[in-house]
Amino acid sequence: MYPGKFYFEESTFKLINNDTFDTLKQFDEKSFDMIFADPPYFLSNNGITCSSGRMVSVNKGNWDKALSVNDKYEFNRKWIHECYRILKDEGTIWISGTLHNIYSIGMALEEEGFKILNNITWQKTNPPPNLACKTFTHSTETILWAKKDLKKVKYTFNYSLMKELNNNKQMKDVWTTSLTKPSEKKNGRHPTQKPLEILERIILASTNENDLILDPFCGSSTTGIAAAKLKRNYIGIDNEKEYLDLSIRRYKEIKEDKL
């Protein structure tokens, strides 16, 4: 499966501290049942935003610095190409993003042999205000759900469960939640941390217990926390030890809660 050394390893929860591109190439073909990716949005351009009522810089780190259109597209095609290789034929991939990157990702998905199944709109009930007052308030993100564009291959979609969770009505492609709750950040903060509720829904929709899930840009491992709670296996990759240490603290907390 993976010949290298794990930064953290328990039976169902593993973390790798390494460059994503180098790591993806080391996995065997068709290893994963599902991939969730929250890649860089490339919006760190020295602008400003609002956080907890304060004006702050939008800069998140060198990993998020703005790229040219062509460089952004080549970046996305490169990692999505490897994800196609290591995803099982019946598996699916979910990718989140904003207008800064999601259209490049959509094009790269199709170029690399994926078929987009849904364009999920995550509507935030409490988005930060638009301080520049030059556009509408940015209150949504997009999550693309895709499968390999193969004929006669059935992918996992737990339709009945999603309907059950939605008061016995078909679940729509607009999901409304708040931003990540403070209680989910008590072990530390990641600048693009997703709400646990979103990842739990994604995992319940497209995997079964004991399936193996990969997050190639794992950050604080919300994907892994959701996977652990729902009895799935998880591997996360990040090149920042700070965020992997945060992931470990979050994981150990939920393990203690189960004791």
Task: Give how many domains the chain has, as a whole number.
Answer: 1
Which pairing describes strands 87-97 and 140-148: parallel, antiparallel, or unpaired?
antiparallel
* 187 φ/ψ angles, rounded to the nearest 5 degrees: -90, 0
Rounded to whole angstroms, the Cα distance separating 236 from 3 reads 15
Whether residue 64 contacts residue 42, with contact meaning beta carbons closer than 8 Å, is answered with yes
pLDDT for residue 57? 47
pLDDT at 63 over 50: no
CATH of the domain at 117: 3.40.50.150
pLDDT for residue 62? 63
pLDDT for residue 80? 98
- pLDDT (mean) for 234-242: 97
Per residue in 125-138, pLDDT (tens digit) is 999 888 888 999 99
**Maximum CA extent, the chain:** 52
Domain assignment of residue 20, yes or no? yes
Whether residue 149 contacts residue 114, with contact meaning beta carbons closer than 8 Å, is answered with yes
Domain assignment of residue 156, yes or no? yes
Per residue in 13-37, pLDDT (tens digit) is 999 999 999 999 999 999 999 999 9
Per residue in 102-114, pLDDT (tens digit) is 999 999 999 999 9
More confident residue, 124 or 53: 124
Domain assignment of residue 1, yes or no? no
Domain assignment of residue 66, yes or no? no
| Residue range of the domain that includes 228 | 8-40+71-258
Q: Where are the alpha helices (DSSP H) in 19-68?
A: 20-24
Rounded to whole angstroms, the Cα distance separating 204 from 34 reads 11
Rounded to whole angstroms, the Cα distance separating 191 from 169 reads 34
Per residue in 158-213, pLDDT (tens digit) is 999 999 999 999 999 999 999 999 999 999 989 889 999 999 999 999 999 999 99
Which residues are 238's β-sheet partners? 17
* 175 φ/ψ angles, rounded to the nearest 5 degrees: -110, 125
